[in-house]
């Protein structure tokens, strides 16, 4: 039977309103289930029997769902439903999101979950000392709900639980499992299925004391996160031949060596612990790498990024002595972020190549957290600049001196910034857009500059009370002055409507 868009939309809105009124996690899951099934029915005219059965079961014990069941019955009529879908269709298109109901007894909860059988495809829960499945209960759940595709568990901080090997094996025997996520487990024996899992695409382990993983058993994994946990060794990780996204907290230098063998990687995030010494990020074979994120390392060197011409995004955070001298692909990079990058007490002049050799017109975002470090660079061709650190008048003066071709400028101002910054900024002849936040400026003046400025925004500057001059600002099309007492005067002088 075909359901029209208006009817399915009306039903989904009704279930969504019920979820909001009841503040019931099951209702929220049901509304998502309704939306997914409605789209499926609309597209193919097939049965939503899993949704109907789900509503019927809830209606037997909870009055608010009786209303939903009645609306559904009135909408399409359960007696008009076609025969049940083939088993393989139900497995791939049904879904339910289950959470514990308040102080529900653990045995009753398990019974309720198992009653959904193969209709349960999504399991997401938060565990604490008062609520946790035993090994036998986990096995019972996995034996009853064979079609679980997404499995996620987060354990309360400081709670001590072990996901035993028998329970893990029962999970890994689920034929349609696509993603697993474990967070805050204090102990985890191993993650080694008996046979390769050809459907598992996403693995996420965070704060898990994981003893061993057999990487050869995960040939279909596309996204892998291993954070803040001892995951044994990455030896054999090249067996994940489809891996595109890797988020890794490195505990030892050998981890980097194995990462270099992942030829299909497109997004790589490496957080090197400070206990890791003398690590060389050697990644010459990652020719498909598009995004590289490096953080929290004081000693790492990158001498092999020259060949990574596919890079479009580089983000480096809290890596004071990281050397990018060999980076030759910067001209093709669309986004570069350097935050908390330079140690004020030990400036590394070779932290980035001489940018005068490259054309940066394609760069969308170039962030420096320390404005006065620009004195060590040659940035005459730089066009956009975003300074996220609170900077002073002197910082702005240096930026305007060393980056004369800036066209897009965003600044977070410190409380020491005065009206003098407008004098420095007015000297940027090509400046088209200017965003300022904070500061203690009291007077605005164009100083005869800002001739090409088309948009200006000044936010959170409650001291700006006077307008001296707007001479030369003939190209301005829009402006915003949030929280400035001189807002109306500025708009009037610029002959612009209030925004």
Question: Of 311, 302, 309, whose CA–CA distance to 283 is shortest?
Answer: 302
Among the residue ranges 284-293, 350-359, 391-400, 452-461, the one predicted with the least confidence is 350-359
pLDDT for residue 268 is more than 80: yes
Lowest mean pLDDT among 70-74, 271-275, 310-314, 421-425: 70-74
pLDDT over 80 at 170, yes or no: yes
Strand extents, DSSP E, 159-290: 162-163, 179-183, 187-188, 202-206, 223-227, 245-250, 267-272
Is the pLDDT confidence value at 243 over 90? Answer: yes
Which has the closest alpha carbon to 50: 71, 25, 70, 32?
Answer: 32
> What is the enclosing helix (H) or strand (E) of 482?
strand 478-482
- For residues 199 and 394, give the distance between their C-alpha atoms in angstroms, rounded to a whole number: 57
Nearest-CA neighbor of 312 among 268, 370, 368, 270?
268
For the record, the structure tokens of 492 come out as: 């009037």
Rounded CA-CA distance 394/459 in Å is 21
Nearest to 230 by CA among 189, 179, 171, 178: 189
Residue 225, pLDDT above cutoff 50: yes
Could you tell me if 143 and 172 are in contact, meaning their C-beta atoms sit under 8 angstroms apart? no
Task: Give every CB contact of residue 305 below 8 A, 6+ residues apart in sequence.
Answer: 281, 283, 292, 311, 324, 326, 327, 329
Choice among 71-75, 155-159, 451-455 with the minimum mean pLDDT: 71-75
Q: What single-letter DSSP state applies at residue 118? A: G
CA distance 41 to 2: 7
Higher pLDDT, residue 457 or 363: 457
What is the predicted pLDDT for the residue at 79?
A: 36
Tallying the residues shown for the chain, one arrives at 499
Q: Is the pLDDT of residue 89 over 80?
A: no
Bigger pLDDT: 30 or 406? 406
- Which residues, in sequence order, are CB contacts of 263 under 8 Å at separation 6+? 285, 286, 287, 288
Tens of pLDDT, residues 472-494:
888 888 777 776 666 666 667 66
Confidence of residue 1 (pLDDT cuts 50, 70, 90): very low
The mean per-residue pLDDT over the stretch 63-91 comes to 46
Over residues 405-422, mean pLDDT: 85
Choose the weakest-confidence range: 89-98, 281-290, 359-368, 475-484: 89-98
Residue 342 confidence (pLDDT): 42
Per-residue pLDDT averaged across 389-416, rounded? 80
Window from 78-82, 221-225, 453-457 with minimum mean pLDDT: 78-82
In 3D, which of 180, 138, 178 has the Cα closest to residue 161? 138
What is the pLDDT confidence band of residue 242, given thresholds at 50, 70 and 90?
very high
Least confident piece of the model among 133-137, 337-341, 405-409: 337-341
User: What are the backbone dihedrals phi and psi of residue 411, each rounded to the nearest 5 degrees, phi first?
Assistant: -135, 135
Q: How confident is the model at residue 338 (pLDDT cuts 50, 70, 90)?
A: low
Lowest-confidence pick of 42-56, 99-113, 218-232, 474-488: 42-56
């Amino acid at each position: 039977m075909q359901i029209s868009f208006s009817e399915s939309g009306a039903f989904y809105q009704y279930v969504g309103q019920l979820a909001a009124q009841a503040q019931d996690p099951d209702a929220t899951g049901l509304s998502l289930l309704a939306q997914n099934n409605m789209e499926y029915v609309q597209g193919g005219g097939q049965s939503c029997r899993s949704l109907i059965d789900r509503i019927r079961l809830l209606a037997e014990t909870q009055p608010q769902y009786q209303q939903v069941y009645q609306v559904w019955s009135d909408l399409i009529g359960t007696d008009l439903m076609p025969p049940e879908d083939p088993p393989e269709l139900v497995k791939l298109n049904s879904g339910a999101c289950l959470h514990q109901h308040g102080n529900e007894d653990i045995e009753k909860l398990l019974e309720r979950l198992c009653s959904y059988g193969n209709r349960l495809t999504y399991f997401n829960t938060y565990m604490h000392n008062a609520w946790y499945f035993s090994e036998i209960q986990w096995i019972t759940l996995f034996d009853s709900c064979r079609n679980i595709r997404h499995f996620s568990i987060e354990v309360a901080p400081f709670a001590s639980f072990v996901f035993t090997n028998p329970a893990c094996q029962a999970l890994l025997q689920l034929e349609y499992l696509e993603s697993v996520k474990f967070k805050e487990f204090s102990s985890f024996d191993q993650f080694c299925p008996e046979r390769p899992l050809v459907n598992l695409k996403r693995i996420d382990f965070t704060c898990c004391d994981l003893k061993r993983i057999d990487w050869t058993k995960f040939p279909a994994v596309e996204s892998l996160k291993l954070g803040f946990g001892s995951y044994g060794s990455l030896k054999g990780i090249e067996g994940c031949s489809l891996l595109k996204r890797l988020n890794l907290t490195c505990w030892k230098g050998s981890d980097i060596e194995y990462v270099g063998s992942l030829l299909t990687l497109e997004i790589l995030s490496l957080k090197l612990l400070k206990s890791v010494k003398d690590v060389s990020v050697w990644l010459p074979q990652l020719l498909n790498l598009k995004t590289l994120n490096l953080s929290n390392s004081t000693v790492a060197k990158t001498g092999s990024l020259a060949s990574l011409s596919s890079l479009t995004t580089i983000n480096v955070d809290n890596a004071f002595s990281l050397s990018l001298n060999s980076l030759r692909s910067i001209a093709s990079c669309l986004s570069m972020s350097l935050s908390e990058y330079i140690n004020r007490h030990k400036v590394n002049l070779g932290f980035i190549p001489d940018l005068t050799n490259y054309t940066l017109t394609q760069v969308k975002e170039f962030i420096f957290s320390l404005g006065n470090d620009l004195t060590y660079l040659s940035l005459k061709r730089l066009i956009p600049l975003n300074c996220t650190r609170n900077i002073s008048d002197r910082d702005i003066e240096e930026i305007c001196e060393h980056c004369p071709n800036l066209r897009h400028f965003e600044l977070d101002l410190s409380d020491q910034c005065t009206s003098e910054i407008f004098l420095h900024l007015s000297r940027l002849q090509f400046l088209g857009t200017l965003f300022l936040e904070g500061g203690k400026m009291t007077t605005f003046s164009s100083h005869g500059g800002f001739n090409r400025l088309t948009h200006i925004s000044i936010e959170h500057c409650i001291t700006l009370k006077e307008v001296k001059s707007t001479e030369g600002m003939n190209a301005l099309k829009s402006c915003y002055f949030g929280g400035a007492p001189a807002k109306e005067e500025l708009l009037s002088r610029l002959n612009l409507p209030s925004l």
